[in-house]
Structure 1
Amino acid sequence: MKVNLQEDVLKDLDLTAAFNREIFKENNILVINIMSSPGAGKTTLLEETIKALRNDFQMAVIEGDLATDLDAERIRSLGVESVQINTVGGCHLDARMITKTLNEFELDKIDILFIENIGNLVCPSGYDLGQEYKVVVLSVPEGNDKIPKYPVMFRRTDVTIVNKIDLLPYVSFNLEEAGKNLKEINPQAQLKALSAQTGEGMDAWIHWIKDAYHQCIKTKPFK
């Protein structure tokens, strides 16, 4: 008799993701899972996003890293609650890890929960955490080959952010080519070009989050 353990594990994770999603729905929380390769600027993007939204929303962050709580500390310095998950070598977060953090939060006081996934363009794309949206961050120094080379990641995301556009004059990155590659892989995906460092293009990202929040809660009672 052959037992497919991988299939059983993935089924269990999908059930856990559904459990998480129901909890988020009950508490009217918009959950955004942010993924990227290491160094693309996820944490800087989160910091600037929090600064732009903190007068309108109560936010919290789950930080995923192999080791340290450096990124979580950066978020906490902004007065936002952050729970650190260290995978000690694991290349992605999974739904069970998220479930274990939920009792650390006062869920009824959160409007938006950001999950900063492990820096990796492969593993995180295949795991549902219970989020409403998946966002992938690509930085211009990484080059134009990342979208066609890692199609699964970009196929499974709702928004692709091209970060560090302030460096466009100094690197051989073509925004038009990136948009074309993304549309070929994922015609429904949105592309937003910005610089979290300088603020250029951030308004479009902030407006998208606000719209996503209102879409998420439009059929639910307001707090």
Structure 2
Amino acid sequence: MTVIPVEKKVLSENQRIAASLRDRFEEQGTLCLNLISSPGSGKTTLLEETLGGFRPEERVAVLTGDLQTENDAKRLARYGFPVQQITTGGVCHLDGRMIERALERWSLDEIDLLFIENVGNLVCPSSYDLGEETKVVLLSVTEGDDKPLKYPSIFAKSELLVLTKIDLLPHVPFNMEQARANARLVHPGIEIVELSCTTGQGFDGWQAWLSRRREARLRRASTARV
């Protein structure tokens, strides 16, 4: 008798759904970004500042995950863009099926940029592909600069590291140089942006990275239609 571990079956099913989602995003020209961090690193605040900088006609949407509340969706909905809360009921990550069900309420051909704000956790979300183009990991200066070494999987799988709350650097024992070195030890090619949503310092770096990714996605979509 062959025994198949339940975890392997779950991940295999998730990969199937994620591949389908990725095909849909590619077909519609939707740039999907999966934001992941520990609780309190600033994902929602980063999204607030980002949404606040978009023109009202921008085709942007957000799916935000939380264990119990709809607090983040209420905060983000104030900016006038489509937002859905995915309440996991205690599950410590989003999975492909959750994203698939949430997207049933929207038409992807009306969304150019989709942010997925994952549940606050550096472990489980790293194992679940959501069909995104890339994962973005956030690390605040109120955490340890050794986080990339302690949780290497998510840093290895992310294309961008956003170091947040840098306005607090004078008040916390966080070594920025060491954090950057640790991240690149795990993922040598990872891009790094340092910013403060409170003061706006470095926020242009995040906006520039986002613009480059959106332009690249548009070019691919245009080529595919030719």
Query: 2-side partners of 1:54 and 1:111: how far apart?
Result: 13
Q: Deviations over 1:108-137 (max 9, x none)?
A: 221100000000011101110000010011
Q: Which secondary structure state, in structure 2, belongs to the residue aligned with residue 152 of structure 1?
A: helix
> Which residue identity does 1:2 align to in structure 2?
T
Give the structure 2 partner of residue 3 of structure 1. 3
For the Cα contact (< 8 Å) 2:146–2:182, is it kept in 1?
A: no
* Structure 1 residue 2 displacement after superposition: 2.8
* Structure 1 residue 151 displacement after superposition: 0.9
Give the structure 2 partner of residue 44 of structure 1. 45
* Structure 1 residue 50 displacement after superposition: 1.1
* Structure 1 residue 141 displacement after superposition: 0.6
Give the structure 1 partner of residue 177 of structure 2. 176
TM-score, length of structure 2 as denominator length:
0.95
Q: 1:56 and 1:172, CA in 2 relative to 1: closer, same or farther beyond 3 A? A: farther
Q: Deviations over 1:93-119 (max 9, x none)?
A: 001110001121232221100000000
> Which residue identity does 2:3 align to in structure 1?
V
For the Cα contact (< 8 Å) 2:21–2:100, is it kept in 1?
A: yes
Give the structure 2 partner of residue 167 of structure 1. 168
Give the structure 1 partner of residue 212 of structure 2. 211
> Which residue identity does 2:168 align to in structure 1?
L
Q: Deviations over 1:44-71 (max 9, x none)?
A: 0001011223367321000100011110
Give the structure 2 partner of residue 220 of structure 1. 221
Query: 1-side partners of 2:173 and 2:54: how far apart?
Result: 33
Query: 2-side partners of 1:89 and 1:96: how far apart?
Result: 16
Displaced runs of 4 or more, over 4 A: none
What does 1:11-90 align with in structure 2 at a 5 Å threshold?
11-54=12-55, 57-90=58-91
Which stretch shows the higher mean deviation, 42-51 or 99-108? 99-108
* Structure 1 residue 218 displacement after superposition: 1.2
* Structure 1 residue 216 displacement after superposition: 1.8
Q: Which secondary structure state, in structure 2, belongs to the residue aligned with residue 160 of structure 1?
A: strand
For the Cα contact (< 8 Å) 1:20–1:129, is it kept in 2?
A: yes
| Structure 2 unaligned spans of 5+ | none
> Which residue identity does 2:2 align to in structure 1?
K
Percent of pairs with identical residues: 46
| Structure 1 unaligned spans of 5+ | none
How many residues were matched structurally? Answer: 223
Query: 2-side partners of 1:219 and 1:78: how far apart?
Result: 28
* Structure 1 residue 8 displacement after superposition: 2.1
What does 1:119-134 align with in structure 2 at a 5 Å threshold?
119-134=120-135
Which stretch shows the higher mean deviation, 20-29 or 127-136? 20-29
Q: Deviations over 1:166-221 (max 9, x none)?
A: 00000011111111111110011111110012111010101101100111231213
Query: 1-side partners of 2:55 and 2:147: how far apart?
Result: 32
Query: 1-side partners of 2:25 and 2:35: how far apart?
Result: 17
Give the structure 1 partner of residue 109 of structure 2. 108
> Which residue identity does 1:100 align to in structure 2?
R
TM-score, length of structure 1 as denominator length:
0.96
For the Cα contact (< 8 Å) 2:56–2:80, is it kept in 1?
A: no
For the Cα contact (< 8 Å) 1:53–1:206, is it kept in 2?
A: no
Give the structure 1 partner of residue 186 of structure 2. 185
